[in-house]
């Protein structure tokens, strides 16, 4: 079973998919947003009106996860999830980012369908009863670039325990399931484990006040002798595990970058005004790049869903870097077109400025992506 196909779940969403020609705002949608019309309308109706409340901390991303679960989005195939997350990101990057983290926890369990963790928590994740937290940034960087792992699995009093500190994880809003990697002193290799928020010795550090993503429950995790059993281990070969989950990991990340870029370009076009002609060539070039990247994202998502491991790592990394850069360029164009009122706190453009500022440091960071692509050239 491919990692893009959650264990034992039918696909109620990915039925006859139709192109939604326009959003409720009257502007064209992203070419990647090939969704059943009723699903697209439901996403717009739920996430659009509450974006400001999520940003201000008056609404929880958990409610968005529950709504997407109700719509069947977390039981869908990878191409549909990519389109869903892009659509959510048109309204609210924090909710789209949370949906990515949640889906990745589902992907991790799907990559280990025989594990006790998959049987215990998979259904809860798909239904939104627990949040899925991904703490695999360090594990992914370890495989891609040889970075050290901050967590160790050690033998203590005859059992395996985790010690260390995960610098960043998201969706740490109990109840949750979090997946992370650890160096194993027993094998000298690295394992992948799943834990719940009530595991003895697991502690969440105070949530920092983040730009644009404060609602995502992002913080650091301290693991102080957390006991793990055989059923908590999802994989004993971290390298093989990362290769398996890397396509959905990067493609759904690319989706929320593209959704942000898509909305910003639409807003820029709508606000050009009588003095906007100097911006028009740059806007048209960015719109053409959006079309190209959206088609590439949709194509790679279908390939990953159908072929599993048949995608070159470089293609995934290059796409992820390109859509993040496009989002930054798009928001800059939106700011220039909208003008000074976009710099007032609480304006939607101001929120997108903060959202776009996060993308260069989202793991894998822009620096790491450029380093990896330079080595692969």
What's the rounded Cα separation, in Å, for the pair 349 and 84?
A: 22
Rounded alpha-carbon distances, angstroms, from residue 28 to 33, 87, 195, 267: 10, 12, 42, 11
What's the rounded Cα separation, in Å, for the pair 88 and 74?
A: 13
Mean pLDDT along residues 112-136: 91
Give the model's pLDDT for residue 189: 86
What's the rounded Cα separation, in Å, for the pair 113 and 111?
A: 6
Give the model's pLDDT for residue 186: 66
Q: Whose structure tokens read 């800059």?
A: 332
Match domain 132-238 to its CATH number in 2.40.110.10, 1.20.120.80, 1.25.40.10, 2.40.30.10. Answer: 2.40.110.10
Give the model's pLDDT for residue 119: 87
Return the structure tokens found at 11. 């696909």
pLDDT of 8-59, one tens digit each? 333 333 332 333 334 434 444 454 447 888 999 999 999 999 999 999 999 9
Residue ranges of the chain that CATH labels 1.20.140.10? 239-376
Q: If 0-12 CB within 10 Å is exposed, 13-18 middle and 19+ buried, where does residue 221 land?
A: buried
Rounded alpha-carbon distances, angstroms, from residue 251 to 82, 137, 169, 173, 287: 7, 15, 19, 24, 20
Closest CA to 245 of 296, 306, 308, 322: 308
Tally of CA atoms within 13 A in the half-sphere of 107 that contains its CB? 32
Backbone angles phi, psi at 155, to 5 degrees: -85, 130
Q: If 0-12 CB within 10 Å is exposed, 13-18 middle and 19+ buried, where does residue 310 land?
A: exposed
Confidence of residue 3 (pLDDT cuts 50, 70, 90): very low
pLDDT of 162-217, one tens digit each? 999 999 999 999 999 999 999 987 666 899 999 999 999 999 999 988 888 888 98
∠ CA(97), CA(21), CA(77), 5° rounding? 45
CA 12 to chain centre: 21
Give the model's pLDDT for residue 308: 61
Give the model's pLDDT for residue 54: 95
pLDDT of 269-327, one tens digit each? 999 888 888 999 999 999 999 999 999 999 999 999 887 657 899 999 999 999 999 99
What's the rounded Cα separation, in Å, for the pair 260 and 309?
A: 28
Residue ranges of the chain that CATH labels 2.40.110.10? 132-238
Which SS3 state, helix, strand or coil, does residue 178 take?
strand
Closest CA to 40 of 74, 9, 71, 6: 71
What's the rounded Cα separation, in Å, for the pair 301 and 101?
A: 17
Q: What is the dotted CATH code of the domain comprising 239-376? A: 1.20.140.10
Closest CA to 154 of 112, 130, 184, 180: 184
What rounded mean pLDDT belongs to the chain? 88
Give the model's pLDDT for residue 21: 35
């Amino acid at each position: 079973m491919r990692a893009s196909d959650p264990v034992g779940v039918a696909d109620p969403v990915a039925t006859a998919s139709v192109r939604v020609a326009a959003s409720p705002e009257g502007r064209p949608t992203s070419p990647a947003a090939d969704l059943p019309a009723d699903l697209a309308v439901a996403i717009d109706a739920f996430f659009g009106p509450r974006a400001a409340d999520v940003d201000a901390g008056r609404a929880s991303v958990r409610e968005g996860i529950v709504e997407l679960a109700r719509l069947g989005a977390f039981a869908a195939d990878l191409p549909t999830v990519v389109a869903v997350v892009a659509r959510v990101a048109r309204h609210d990057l924090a909710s789209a980012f949370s949906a990515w983290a949640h889906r990745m926890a589902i992907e991790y369990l799907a990559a280990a369908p025989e594990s006790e963790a998959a049987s215990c928590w998979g259904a809860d994740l798909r239904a939104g009863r627990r949040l899925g937290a991904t703490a695999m940034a360090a594990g992914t960087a370890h495989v891609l670039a040889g970075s050290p792992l901050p967590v160790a699995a050690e033998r203590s009093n005859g059992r395996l325990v985790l010690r260390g500190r995960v610098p960043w994880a998201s969706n740490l809003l109990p109840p949750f399931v979090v997946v992370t990697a650890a160096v194993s002193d027993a094998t000298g290799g690295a394992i992948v484990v799943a834990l719940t928020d009530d595991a003895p010795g697991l502690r969440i550090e105070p949530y920092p006040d983040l730009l644009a993503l404060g609602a995502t429950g992002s913080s650091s995790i301290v693991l102080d002798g957390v006991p793990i059993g055989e059923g908590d281990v999802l994989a004993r070969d971290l390298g093989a595990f990362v290769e398996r989950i890397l396509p959905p990991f990067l493609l759904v990340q690319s989706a929320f970058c593209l959704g942000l870029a898509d909305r910003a370009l639409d807003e820029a076009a709508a606000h050009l005004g009588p003095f906007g002609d100097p911006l028009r060539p740059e806007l048209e070039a960015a719109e053409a790049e959006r079309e190209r990247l959206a088609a590439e994202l949709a194509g790679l998502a279908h390939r990953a869903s159908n072929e599993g491991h048949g995608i070159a790592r470089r293609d995934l990394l290059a796409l992820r870097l390109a859509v993040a850069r496009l989002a930054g360029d798009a928001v800059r164009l939106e700011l220039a077109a909208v003008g000074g009122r976009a710099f007032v706190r609480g304006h939607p453009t101001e929120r997108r400025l903060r959202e776009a500022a996060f993308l260069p440091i989202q793991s894998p960071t822009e620096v790491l992506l450029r380093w990896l692509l330079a080595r692969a050239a």
